[in-house]
Homo-oligomer: A and B are copies of this chain.
Amino acid sequence: MNGAEALVDTLAGHGVEICFANPGTSEMHFLAALENPKMRSVLCLFEGVATGAADGWYRMKHAPACALLHLGPGLANGLANIHNARRAGSGIVNIVGEHASAHLKYDAPLTSDIEGLARPLSHWLRRTDTARSVASDASMAVAAASSRPGQIATLILPGETSWGEAGDPKLIPLTTVAPSAPPSTRVDHIISVLRSGEPTLIILGGRATQGRALALAGSVAASYQCRLATQFFSARVERGTGRVPLERIPYAVPAAVDYLKEFKHIITVETGEPIAFFSYPDKPSRLKQDHCVVHNLVETDEDSVAGLEMLLDGLRGKTALARLQPRSTDAPPQGRLDPISIAKALAAALPENAILVDESLTTGRETLGLTAGAAPHDVLQNMGGSIGFSTPAATGAALACPDRRVFCMVGDGSAMYTIQSLWTQARESLNVTTIIFANNAYQILKNEFASMGVGTPGPQALAMMSIGNPRIDWVSMGKSMGVPSVSISTAEAFHASLLASASEAGPMLIEVQL
């Protein structure tokens, strides 16, 4: 087989099931190799869709996808969502096609320093030497991407390594290291903190917001009488009726400082000390009080289940039952659309096992708490802060979980970065409901302008934060890429359109007129 065939064979052999691709000339042999039935290939019309979809896939599967990118500039187009994935601990195997090595010295137009572009955001980076080393390099890339937390692995494939003879490589089993339990001395220290009775907040991140770790954290909080929260943004939180509810540290610096001021101790699980998202001239970067001490229980590469079990072991059987989220009994809202009625409509409409991808910024993110009493669901958020995360991530999540409905909440400004996602959703008939909050502004920036203390924005600055001239026609936008689309302006219409979207397979777009 040739190198490209060896590559696809190896990736698929290690369980990389899907390739999000935006290929070019240098990837033609890879394209030919995608006939391999063990690899599903999904075409994306922009590279940021491919890498963001790989992030969404990983978050739901806990297994890496592959992103096929065209030389340095193709990689560059995918970097923003690689940044977001990296911050979420999502593993991705990037395959970057490159000119044949002998061609590089001629400095053809698409030549660039691919390693230079990849290095700042890759944990693992390699340029394959020969077709015969493709398989082992690909194995190492998958191993890196499959680490815990997941890593960004970038494999650069010069032309001759794709088309050259690779022999008949054997699949080398991956050596994966299971995450270890935190050391007992550290756990003992945390137990002493919890027993002190002083006000304590446990902040969960990484995998600790899911499954058994989340349930254990609920017991720990109930048993030791401390509070449980997440950072403002989380990679994936399992929430809704019957699950352990988590508080959320506010985004705005004054609100976050206020929220944290009562705590003497913060215990972190697969996350770090809460920090301001941005820096502001007159506001602190650290959100906790000076006297509050931060104790780390579980590092991001350790096992939260083991760590939390050790905390419960410290109680010698006197564990309390976790508080669980009751079902919200609110009737669906009517009338005016605002962040509260929007959240209530969502809470009422979310079907069991929905996936909520949240990049709603001003409209939804502050009121997300109101959806806690919805049917059980997952929430995925933007961990890197680079806008244009949600529509690709929703695409990848829907492919990872074809039996679940994905709701992508996104502001109009944010949606425009990687709007090409809609086309892939239509092409693959994905169960994604894209909810566009159309306030015709970079509204978040108006808030941030005020937070920066810059004063009242002048006409130029205001114009630069308005996207209402022209107003984006979202129904036409959805239609242009084959996604059935509606525009609604009341809470009851929003609720009804959410239900309608969930009742039929395939994508839908809902413009929420604000």
Q: Which residues of A contact B (CB under 8 A)?
A: 21, 23-26, 28-29, 31-32, 34-35, 41, 43, 45-46, 48, 72-74, 76-77, 79-80, 83-84, 87, 99-100, 102-103, 106-110, 112-113, 116-117, 119-121, 159-160, 163, 233, 272-273, 275-281, 285-286, 383-388, 413, 416-417, 419-420, 423, 426-427, 442, 444-445, 448-449, 451-452, 454-455, 457-461, 463-465, 467, 469-474, 476-477, 479-482
Question: A45 and B112: CB pair below 8 A?
Answer: no
Taken together as a complex, chains A and B put the C-alpha atoms of A32 and B464 apart, in Å, by: 10
Contacts A110-B277, A386-B74 known; A34 to B452 CB distance under 8 Å?
Answer: no
A28 CB contacts on chain B under 8 angstroms = 445, 448-449, 452, 454
Question: A464 and B41: CB pair below 8 A?
Answer: yes
Taken together as a complex, chains A and B put the C-alpha atoms of A471 and B504 apart, in Å, by: 21
Least CB distance from A135 to B in Å reads 20
Taken together as a complex, chains A and B put the C-alpha atoms of A231 and B199 apart, in Å, by: 71
Taken together as a complex, chains A and B put the C-alpha atoms of A394 and B481 apart, in Å, by: 23
| A-B CB proximity, top 8 nearest | A470-B482, A73-B386, A103-B279, A116-B120, A76-B79, A100-B279, A477-B480, A476-B480
A272 CB contacts on chain B under 8 angstroms = 107
Select A479's contact among B106, B280, B388, B476, beta carbons within 8 Å: B476
A413 CB contacts on chain B under 8 angstroms = 45
A34 CB contacts on chain B under 8 angstroms = 460-461, 464
A457 CB contacts on chain B under 8 angstroms = 31-32
Taken together as a complex, chains A and B put the C-alpha atoms of A460 and B37 apart, in Å, by: 9
Taken together as a complex, chains A and B put the C-alpha atoms of A449 and B384 apart, in Å, by: 37
Taken together as a complex, chains A and B put the C-alpha atoms of A277 and B25 apart, in Å, by: 10
Select A464's contact among B21, B121, B470, beta carbons within 8 Å: B21
Question: B45 and A467: CB pair below 8 A?
Answer: yes
Number of chain copies forming the complex: 2
Chain B residue at minimal CB-CB distance from A99: B279
Taken together as a complex, chains A and B put the C-alpha atoms of A110 and B272 apart, in Å, by: 15
Question: A480 and B473: CB pair below 8 A?
Answer: yes
Question: B233 and A109: CB pair below 8 A?
Answer: yes
Chain B residue at minimal CB-CB distance from A77: B80
Taken together as a complex, chains A and B put the C-alpha atoms of A45 and B416 apart, in Å, by: 6
A80 CB contacts on chain B under 8 angstroms = 73-74, 76-77
A277 CB contacts on chain B under 8 angstroms = 108-110
Question: A113 and B109: CB pair below 8 A?
Answer: no
Contacts A106-B275, A445-B28 known; A35 to B460 CB distance under 8 Å?
Answer: yes
Taken together as a complex, chains A and B put the C-alpha atoms of A77 and B414 apart, in Å, by: 13
A459 CB contacts on chain B under 8 angstroms = 35
Question: A117 and B279: CB pair below 8 A?
Answer: no
Chain B residue at minimal CB-CB distance from A36: B460
Question: A454 and B279: CB pair below 8 A?
Answer: no
Question: A419 and B417: CB pair below 8 A?
Answer: no
Taken together as a complex, chains A and B put the C-alpha atoms of A365 and B28 apart, in Å, by: 21
A419 CB contacts on chain B under 8 angstroms = 419-420
Least CB distance from A384 to B in Å reads 5
Question: A423 and B76: CB pair below 8 A?
Answer: no
A99 CB contacts on chain B under 8 angstroms = 278-279
Name which of A108, A278, A442 has the most chain B CB atoms within 10 A of its CB: A278
Chain B residue at minimal CB-CB distance from A68: B464
Question: A73 and B79: CB pair below 8 A?
Answer: yes
Contacts A25-B448, A116-B119, A386-B73 known; A472 to B465 CB distance under 8 Å?
Answer: no
Select A461's contact among B35, B160, B420, beta carbons within 8 Å: B35
Least CB distance from A373 to B in Å reads 28
Could you write out 18 A-B pairs with CB less than 8 Å apart? A23-B464, A25-B278, A25-B445, A28-B452, A28-B454, A34-B461, A35-B458, A73-B83, A77-B388, A99-B279, A109-B233, A110-B277, A112-B121, A117-B117, A159-B279, A419-B420, A476-B476, A476-B479
